[in-house]
């Protein structure tokens, strides 16, 4: 071994990348969870008898919702839910390529896919990531839904964390007011690198009646995030649930 190579300092160990979701402190300890829920909405046209699709979804034991499209008299959409991204390739894909779904025309612009995520302050992290989204979309009392993707401008990413936090809190407060009043509930999914149109997020708004969803979106347009830092929103899918799978039993931790 030469003197030069012997004196060469060892290369630093690569920094570990933590991909877990982080929540607020619980019992004095930070919350971390490397699990998340995936959701995909796929819309179709050319459906004359949507009740036939219900039987196919029940036989496949799909966890999710079948919507009738408000803006297409022959339109439907399937919302599928799973913790595993493999499910959408190995189970959902064959289902939608065969049987009654195989004869429908897919709407390429209405293909939304994303994952649940945390902002870092959620008091019940596991419930936020895994259980609450299921409760919301599978709630039999909430018939109406609006789903849409959105993309922020690059300017938002250049803001400081403090500025971003203020903007997000203002925007989130609008949704919380509607949620606390029982008028509408939101699902937020991250889709960076997963969306064919390079969107950042997929948003689902769920309610018993349709008009609160329109009011909620209108109210959000006045926030800084929407008025200054949204590059694009939509297309919008508006539908009413024709069928949904039974909601899973709530775990003890989520019930507490």
* pLDDT at position 8: 74
Query: Is 18 part of a structural domain of the chain?
Result: no
* pLDDT at position 63: 97
Has residue 28 got a pLDDT over 90? no
3-state SS, residue 198:
coil
Query: Is 195 part of a structural domain of the chain?
Result: yes
249 vs 43: which has the higher pLDDT: 43
3-state SS, residue 11:
coil
Query: Is 43 part of a structural domain of the chain?
Result: yes
Query: Is 148 part of a structural domain of the chain?
Result: yes
2 vs 189: which has the higher pLDDT: 189
- For 11, the token pair is 């290369």
Q: pLDDT digits over 125-182, tens only?
A: 999 999 999 999 999 999 999 999 999 999 998 999 889 889 988 988 999 999 999 9
In the Cβ-directed half-sphere of 220, how many Cα atoms lie within 13 Å? 25
Q: CATH no. for residue 133?
A: 3.30.70.1030
- Residue range of the domain that includes 120: 33-245
* pLDDT at position 255: 38
Q: pLDDT digits over 215-232, tens only?
A: 999 999 999 999 999 999
CA-CA distance, 144 to 210, in Å (whole number)? 6
Query: Is 147 part of a structural domain of the chain?
Result: yes
Query: Is 28 part of a structural domain of the chain?
Result: no
Query: Is 169 part of a structural domain of the chain?
Result: yes
Q: pLDDT digits over 66-110, tens only?
A: 999 999 999 999 999 999 999 999 999 999 999 999 999 999 999
Q: Strand 237-244 relative to strand 201-207: parallel, antiparallel, unpaired?
A: unpaired
Has residue 39 got a pLDDT over 90? yes
Counted domains in the chain: 1
Query: Is 21 part of a structural domain of the chain?
Result: no
Q: Which residues are CB-contacts of 53 (< 8 A; sequence separation ≥ 6)?
A: 47, 66, 76, 78, 100, 101, 243
* pLDDT at position 256: 34
């Amino acid at each position: 071994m030469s003197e030069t190579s012997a004196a060469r300092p060892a290369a630093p160990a690569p920094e570990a990348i933590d991909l877990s979701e982080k929540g607020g402190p619980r019992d004095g300890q930070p919350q971390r969870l490397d699990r998340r829920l995936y959701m995909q909405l796929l819309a179709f046209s050319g459906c004359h008898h949507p009740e036939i699709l219900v039987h196919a979804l029940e036989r496949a034991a799909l966890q999710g919702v079948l919507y009738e499209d408000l803006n297409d008299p022959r339109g439907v959409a399937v919302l599928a839910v799973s913790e595993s991204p493999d499910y959408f390739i190995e189970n959902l894909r064959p289902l939608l390529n065969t049987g009654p779904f195989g004869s429908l025309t897919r709407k390429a612009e209405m293909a939304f896919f994303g994952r649940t995520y945390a902002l870092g302050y959620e008091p019940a992290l596991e419930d936020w990531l895994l259980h609450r989204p299921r409760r919301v979309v599978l709630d039999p009392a909430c018939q109406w839904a609006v789903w849409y993707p959105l993309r922020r401008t690059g300017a938002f990413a250049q803001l400081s964390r403090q500025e971003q936090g203020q903007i997000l809190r203002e925007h989130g407060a609008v949704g919380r007011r509607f949620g606390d009043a029982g008028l509408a509930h939101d699902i937020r999914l991250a889709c960076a690198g997963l969306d064919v149109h390079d969107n950042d997020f997929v948003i689902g708004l769920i309610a018993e009646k349709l008009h609160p969803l329109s009011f909620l979106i209108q109210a959000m347009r006045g926030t800084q995030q929407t008025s200054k830092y949204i590059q694009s929103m939509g297309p919008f899918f508006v539908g009413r649930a024709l069928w949904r799978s039974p909601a899973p039993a709530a775990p003890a931790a989520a019930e507490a």
